[in-house]
Each structure stands twice: as structure tokens, then as C-alpha cells.
Amino acid sequence: AVADRLAIALQQSLLYEQVQAANQQLQELALLDGLTQIPNRRYFDDYLQQEWLRTCRETTSLSLILCDVDFFKAYNDAHGHQQGDTALKAIAQLLSNVVQRPGDVVARYGGEEFGIVLPRTTSVGAARLATSILDAFAQAAMAHPASPQQQITLSMGICCRSAHNDLEPTELLTYADRALYRAKEQGRNQFCIYPEKGL
């Protein structure tokens, strides 16, 4: 009887561990973008909030880069959505290869947009990274005949704030988005930083 109870207890313990592992796996999957296998918008929003609170505690800087694939609708129209999905996977991989510092996060923000959270990073550091991203895409030369550049390019908007700026993460997103659209207005395949004259 004791041996039976011990066997049942061991079995229950093993089953509990398996359920815990499965739940952990499901949680991780819920925070990944199904297509690109990088963090999704939900993870991005949570991480941005978390890092903003840390920035306030440590009185450091936090930078945010919003990226948009130039002329992506034209790419999908020319090649079809399946090829568009393949391109998004390659773009996510390339961004992840460039953004490698521990704590920096690349996430799929939505559609053909990506967000990059850069804790403890000034606007100078963010601009340096954005330049590296532009260089990496130029070197990768992923074909995009419907683009004036004939290859896939990105437009990026950067916003950097320090804790003492008394700014909410949602405002950081708003300003990075404004800078992104300025980059598009100025010809794409470039980045703009907020604040900048006219933004």
C-alpha cells in the first residue's frame, strides 16, 4: 500500500511538472509572433512599459525605434502574400542579427512594422544602431523591383527620453511614429529622430 501511494505521488509529481512545462511553453508562444518568431506586439507593449519604469527608477535613457518596410504593399501586389510573408521573416531575422545587445528587443509591431526597444540608450546610440540597420539592408540587397531602390528598405522613427522628461511610454510611441512618417515624407530608406524641427 505504501509503495502504491508512493508510485501515485511520483506519478502526480511528474504530471504536475509536465503541465507546468506545457503552460510555460504556451505562455512563451503567446508572446511570439507566429510568422516571424520574434516577440509580438503584446510582448513589445509589456516590455516597453517595464523598461520605462526601470528608466524612471535608474534615471537613465530609453530609446525606441519604429521601423516600416518601404513600399511593402507594392511588394505583396507584385509577389503575392506568401512571398511577402517570406520577406517579413527575412526582415525580422536581419533586424535580430543587427540588434544583439542584451536587453534590446526587436518585436513585430504590426503588419510590416517592427519596434525596437533600447534600454539605457541615448539618441546618439539609437541613431548609430539605425545606421547599422540601413547598412545591413543595403548589403543584404533583398530584391524589391516595385521600389525605387530596387531592394527592400526601411524607414525608421526614433524617440529617446530620459526619466526626468516625465513622458509616458504611449507618448514615446506617438513621437517615434511622427519621426517615422517624417522619414517617409523625406524619401524613405532613412531615419528621423524626434524632436526635430517641424515634428
Which positions are catalytic?
112
Residue 47 one-letter amino acid: Y
The dihedral sign for the CA sequence 29, 31, 34, 36:
negative
By DSSP bridging, strand 61-69 and strand 105-110 are: unpaired
Contact by Cβ (8 Å): 109, 39: no
Task: Extract the C-alpha cell encoding 186.
Answer: 523625406
Give the span between the Cα atoms of 148 and 81, in whole angstroms: 20
